[in-house]
């Protein structure tokens, strides 16, 4: 199965509008001729509108980092799927471990958010992954299974084919401690096996699974050399022009 590599930058809570514009202009200058990798940036909500202006007609796509599942109404501080679509997003990160940890996000909430995104044709990048404690207790596969089955509850085969999944071991996020390519590959295979059991083998082989957690220019090639790693969700290294450009270029 030919899955096109997909590199996305998750900027998290970083960058003013001015800094975002500078970085996005730089990315556009450096990456406009790349056709062999899908590229996306996910700036904070405040920079999405300006980012869209710059990225219009560009090969770099726009994503958001979160949404709320209701369509509209009295939900102070929240942003809906329609609003993200309106501002030009094609992707939205859902279920990031930081949201699970700091904002009490649950599998049920993740499932509702995925449905809301799909209802307006936003592509969810669904994050799953274990903590260090869970890994040390030998629970990695169980946790990933819980996250995947919880996130996908009630979704049809057609729905699931639209998703991107990101395996992000919590212990590798922002720690400089990358999972080895073999460790990541092992979990990606497990995720594909689950998808095959829940849906079918063709679906499992079609869905792109990114790895996330201390991805850097120095480790992207090795990670991408694994057969089941289809791209990366990059945090810290997506905030600097040179490192994100190198990661994209090193990913094919």
Q: Which of 108, 168, 201, 222 is catalytic?
A: 168
Alpha carbon separation from 61 to 88, 240, 242, 252 (Å, rounded): 9, 17, 18, 18
CB of 235 to ligand 13P, least distance (A): 2
CA angle 234/175/100 to nearest 5° reads 70
Interface region with ligand 13P, contact rule CB under 6 A, candidates 56-64, 80-88, 198-206, 234-242: 234-242
Alpha carbon separation from 196 to 79, 141, 152, 206, 210 (Å, rounded): 33, 15, 13, 10, 17
Residue 95 binds ligand 13P (CB under 6 A): no
Residue 44 binds ligand 13P (CB under 6 A): no
Residue 213 binds ligand 13P (CB under 6 A): yes
Residue 235 binds ligand 13P (CB under 6 A): yes
Rg, the chain, Cα only: 17
DSSP per residue, 147-193: HHHHHHTT--HHHHHT-EEEE--GGGTTSS-PPPHHHHHHHHHHHHH
CB of 8 to ligand 13P, least distance (A): 8
CB of 58 to ligand 13P, least distance (A): 22
Give catalytic status of residue 168 as yes or no: yes
Structure tokens at 40: 């996306």
Those residues with Cβ within 8 angstroms of residue 227's Cβ, 6 or more apart along the chain or in another chain:
185
Q: Residues 128, 215, 224, 245: which binds ligand 13P (CB under 6 A)? A: 215
CB of 240 to ligand 13P, least distance (A): 11
Please give the Cα distance from 186 to 60 (Å, whole number).
Answer: 30
Instruction: Let me know: does 7 contact 231? Beta carbons within 8 Å.
Output: yes
Identity of the residue, 199 or 212, whose beta carbon is nearer to ligand 13P in the bound complex: 212
Q: Which of 96, 98, 105, 147 is catalytic?
A: 96
Q: Residues 204, 233, 245, 248: which binds ligand 13P (CB under 6 A)? A: 233
Q: Is 13 exposed, middle or buried (0-12, 13-18, 19+ CB in 10 A)?
A: exposed
Residue 124 binds ligand 13P (CB under 6 A): no
CB of 119 to ligand 13P, least distance (A): 24
Instruction: Let me know: does 62 contact 40? Beta carbons within 8 Å.
Output: yes
> What mask of x and - would describe binding to ligand 13P in positions 157 to 196, judged by CB under 6 A?
-----------x----xx----------------------
Catalytically active residues are 96, 168
- Residues near ligand 13P, by CB under 6 A: 10, 96, 168, 173-174, 212-215, 233-237
């Amino acid at each position: 199965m030919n899955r096109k590599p997909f590199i996305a930058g998750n900027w998290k809570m970083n960058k003013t509008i001015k800094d975002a514009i500078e970085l996005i202009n730089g990315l556009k200058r450096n990456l406009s001729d790349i056709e062999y990798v899908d590229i996306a940036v996910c700036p904070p909500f405040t920079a999405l509108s300006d980012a869209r202006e710059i990225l219009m007609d560009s090969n770099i796509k726009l994503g958001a980092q979160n949404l709320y599942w209701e369509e509209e109404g009295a939900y102070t501080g929240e942003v809906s799927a329609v609003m993200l679509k309106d501002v030009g997003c094609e992707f939205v990160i859902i279920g990031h471990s930081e949201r699970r940890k700091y904002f009490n996000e649950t599998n049920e909430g993740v499932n509702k958010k995925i449905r809301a995104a799909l209802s307006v044709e936003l592509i969810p990048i669904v994050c799953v992954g274990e903590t260090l404690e869970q890994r040390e207790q030998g629970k990695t596969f169980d946790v990933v299974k819980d996250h995947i089955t919880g996130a996908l509850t009630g979704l049809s085969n057609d729905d699931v084919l639209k998703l991107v999944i990101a395996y992000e071991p919590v212990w590798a996020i922002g720690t400089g401690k990358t999972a080895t390519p073999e460790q990541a590959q092992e979990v990606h295979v497990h995720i594909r096996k689950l998808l095959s059991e829940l849906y079918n083998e063709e679906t499992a082989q079609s869905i792109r699974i990114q790895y996330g957690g201390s991805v850097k220019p120095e480790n992207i090639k090795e990670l991408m050399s694994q057969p089941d790693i289809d791209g990366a969700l990059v945090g810290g290294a997506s905030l600097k022009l040179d490192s994100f450009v190198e990661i994209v270029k090193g990913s094919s």
